[in-house]
């Protein structure tokens, strides 16, 4: 269940807090670099293979990159100690969850109706397999930092990373099933799953809630 109580409302901003803020910015830069590669390759391979789930996941990577930019903005300059900046950053991260859903829903439904069959993409499967391992590790590290910082924005970014890993696993299953047994219908269904999760997590992030399971 999500909770907002797990983040300290007024953390002590001492040397330990400053160190955590530094690490939050560093991990956000690392995430931003990886998201750029992940998003670009994901969309490229998704369009080449006709996979709406892979394209949607690639687009979600760019949205996650924007969340990383917001966290870097949040902990840079005078905003580092600003509660107002934290509130704005938290809302900006939450809004990004909603950007993806309409496109993925429309494309997934269209693919189901038209019976579109995605082609096999080895590069796409390798990319999603890498993200299955890497993204939950980044997300867990950011959740730990969010606890120390009392930062809903950092927690929201971490949740997006965890969800990226979960979605990558779902896309990988769909791609593998399509390649092995021709289960083309899994691809758009997984696209709908991605849209549903994005809306749910966007709502929770807007309320300042953090999913404990993440």
Supply 174's token pair. Answer: 């769909």
The average pLDDT across 131-160 equals 89
Does a structural domain hold residue 152?
Answer: yes
- For residue 167, the number of C-alpha atoms closer than 13 Å in the C-beta half-sphere is 31
Whether residue 164 has pLDDT greater than 60: yes
Q: Which two tokens stand for residue 120?
A: 């096999």
Is 179 inside any structural domain? yes
- Helix, coil or strand: residue 208: coil
pLDDT of amino acid 115: 63
What 8-state DSSP symbol labels residue 7? S
Number of structural domains (the chain) is: 1
Whether residue 183 lies inside any domain: the answer is yes
147 vs 214 pLDDT, higher one: 147
For residue 134, tell me if it sits in a domain: yes
In a domain? residue 142:
yes
Q: Is residue 189 part of a domain?
A: yes
Residue 5 within any structural domain of the chain: no
The CATH number covering residue 78 comes to: 1.20.1510
**Phi/psi class of residue 21: alpha, beta or left (left: φ > 0; alpha: ψ in -120 to 50)?**
alpha
In 3D space, the residue among 134, 139, 201 whose CA is nearest the CA of residue 168 turns out to be 134
Query: Which pLDDT score, from 0 to 100, does residue 6 have?
Result: 45
The model's pLDDT over 82-114, given as tens digits with 9 standing for 90+, comes to 767 777 777 777 777 787 678 778 777 877 776
More confident residue, 13 or 128: 128
Look up the domain containing 123 and give its range.
14-208
User: Does 32 fall in a domain?
Assistant: yes
Give me the pLDDT at residue 94, please.
Answer: 74
């Amino acid at each position: 269940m999500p909770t907002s109580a797990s983040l300290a409302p007024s953390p002590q901003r001492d040397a330990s807090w400053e160190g955590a803020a530094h690490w939050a910015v560093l991990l956000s830069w690392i995430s931003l670099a990886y998201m750029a590669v992940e998003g670009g390759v994901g969309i490229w391979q998704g369009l080449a293979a006709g996979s709406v789930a892979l394209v949607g996941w690639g687009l979600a990577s760019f949205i996650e990159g924007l969340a990383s930019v917001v966290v870097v903005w949040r902990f840079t300059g005078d905003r580092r100690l600003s509660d107002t900046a934290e509130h704005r950053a938290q809302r900006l991260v939450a809004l990004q969850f909603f950007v993806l859903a309409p496109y993925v829903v429309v494309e997934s439904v269209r693919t189901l109706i038209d019976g579109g069959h995605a082609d096999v993409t080895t590069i796409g499967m390798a990319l999603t397999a890498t993200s299955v391992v890497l993204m939950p590790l980044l997300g867990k590290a950011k959740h730990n930092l969010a606890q120390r910082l009392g930062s809903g924005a950092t927690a929201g970014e971490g949740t997006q990373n965890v969800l990226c890993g979960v979605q990558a696993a779902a896309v990988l299953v769909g791609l593998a099933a399509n390649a092995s047994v021709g289960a083309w219908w899994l691809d758009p269904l997984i696209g709908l799953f991605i849209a549903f999760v994005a809306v749910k997590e966007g709502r929770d992030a807007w309320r300042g809630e953090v999913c404990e399971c993440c």
